[in-house]
């Protein structure tokens, strides 16, 4: 498998867009590009990722970026995906996975104990001269429901997408970053990592794992000039809410608290900040020279996290329970 490093020249490739137009590496030149690889059109995690980029495109364009997506799907599948979700950027069809192989993101994966070849969800930031600058780990989706009634398989799927996908992409780039003594990795976490919400347990666990990974590995690789940070958004208006895998199993046993909690949580999300605000935070984190490990999006959420850390854990947890578990 090809391994790319920050500062490498982006590999040559030939592909076609969703409209059947030829597209090569030469078309990347002259403008900074967010080149993201994803497994499959119209799956929950890939749809959420595409919608988030769609909603954040205006801010990314203002910052000088364009968006190009790549997956092994056909041109027809891409056109349907774009039409269904009003996607406003280019998708490349990589049916022979040659582009994925060139960028080192076609590899063995594992799901529920089954091993298979597939796309490692990965984002590269390529500068106007065609050099790879940054790795962004931004894939994720959410599940909700009582921990007691959530199957182990569903919990594993939550961790597989949100945490292990990030781990695989990071492990793929670290060896060469370390050898070159430079690199920048930005992980997408969540305020839920430090304010774990009842009935969203496994999502909160996946984001807490990202934070621990970011801090621990960041210390391991800091002597080699590699900086790793995590951006923690709070409630955000994206397709994330509608894409959530909801389960109300056991709601009667829990006195209706599951449905009440999820309804309140989703109301908060729909009233949250726009995706462009989060996109801007990710962009700043990727381009900043700061060594700050965590970036919380929004003054309100920075205040919430400050207060939660200031209060005794018993009091902080009681507040979260009062808000989302009654």
> In which band, very low, low, confident or very high, does the pLDDT at 258 lie, cut at 50, 70 and 90?
very high
pLDDT (tens digit per residue) in 178-190:
877 778 899 999 9
Question: What does the DSSP assignment read for 28-80?
Answer: GTTSEEEEEE-S-TTSHHHHHHHHHHHHHHHHHHHTTEEEEEEES--HHHHHH
How far is the C-alpha of 154 from the C-alpha of 166, rounded, in Å?
18
Give the DSSP letter string of 230-293.
EEE--SEESTHHHH-EE--TTTTTTTTHHHHHHHHHHHHHHTSEEHHHHHHHHHHHHH-----S
> Active-site positions?
46
Say if CB 293 and CB 229 are below 8 A apart. yes
pLDDT in tens, 59-97: 888 888 899 999 999 999 999 999 999 999 999 999 999
Q: pLDDT digit string (tens) for 114-163?
A: 677 888 878 888 888 776 677 888 777 788 999 999 999 899 988 988 89
Query: Taking a C-beta distance cutoff of 8 angstroms, is the pair 27, 125 a contact?
Result: no
Span 294-308, average pLDDT: 86
How is the chain split into domains, by residue range? 14-324
Q: How many residues does the chain have?
A: 326
Match 């092994």 to its residue by tokens: 72
Q: What are phi and psi of 229, to 5 degrees?
A: -140, 170
Chain CA centroid to CA 77, Å: 22
Q: Is 225 helix (H, G, I), strand (E, B) or coil?
A: coil
Between residues 241 and 6, which one has the greater pLDDT?
Answer: 241
Q: Identify the architecture of domain 14-324 in CATH.
A: 3-Layer(aba) Sandwich (3.40)
pLDDT at 252 over 90: yes
Average pLDDT over all residues of the chain = 86
First CA to last CA distance, the chain: 50
- How deeply is 39 buried, as exposed, middle or buried, from its count of CB atoms within 10 A (0-12, 13-18, 19+)? buried
Cα 182 to chain centroid, rounded: 22
136 close to 279: Cβ distance less than 8 angstroms: no
243 or 245: which carries more pLDDT confidence?
245
Tokens of 228: 């790793």
Q: What is the pLDDT of residue 112?
A: 55
- Stretch 247-252: mean pLDDT, rounded? 92
């Amino acid at each position: 498998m090809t391994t790319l490093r920050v500062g490498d020249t982006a590999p040559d490739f030939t592909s076609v867009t969703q409209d059947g137009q030829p597209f090569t590496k030469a078309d990347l030149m002259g403008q900074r590009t967010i080149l993201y690889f994803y497994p499959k059109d119209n799956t929950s995690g890939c749809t959420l990722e595409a919608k988030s980029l769609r909603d954040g495109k205006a801010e990314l364009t203002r910052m000088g970026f364009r968006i190009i997506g790549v997956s092994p799907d056909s041109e027809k599948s891409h056109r349907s995906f774009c039409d269904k979700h009003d996607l406003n950027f280019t998708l490349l069809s990589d049916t022979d996975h040659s582009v994925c192989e060139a960028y080192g993101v076609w590899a063995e994966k594992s799901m529920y104990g089954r091993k298979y070849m597939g796309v490692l969800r990965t984002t590269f930031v390529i500068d106007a001269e065609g050099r790879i600058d940054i790795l962004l780990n931004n894939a994720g989706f959410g599940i909700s429901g009582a921990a007691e009634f959530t199957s182990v398989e569903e919990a594993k799927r939550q961790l597989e997408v949100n945490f292990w996908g990030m781990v695989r992409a990071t492990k793929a780039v670290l060896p060469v970053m370390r050898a070159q003594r430079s690199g920048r990795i930005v992980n997408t976490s969540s305020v839920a990592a430090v304010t774990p919400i009842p009935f969203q347990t496994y999502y909160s666990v996946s984001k807490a794992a990202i934070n621990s990974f970011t801090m621990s590995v960041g210390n391991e690789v800091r002597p080699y000039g590699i900086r790793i940070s995590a951006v923690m958004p709070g409630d955000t208006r994206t397709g994330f809410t509608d894409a959530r895998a909801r389960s109300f199993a056991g709601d009667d046993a829990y006195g209706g608290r599951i449905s009440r909690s999820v309804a309140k949580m989703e109301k908060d999300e729909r009233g949250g900040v726009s995706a462009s605000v989060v996109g801007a935070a990710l962009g700043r984190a990727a381009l900043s020279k700061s060594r700050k490990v965590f970036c919380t999006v929004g003054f309100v959420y920075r205040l919430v996290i400050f207060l939660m850390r200031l209060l005794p854990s018993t009091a902080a947890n009681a507040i979260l329970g009062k808000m989302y578990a009654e």
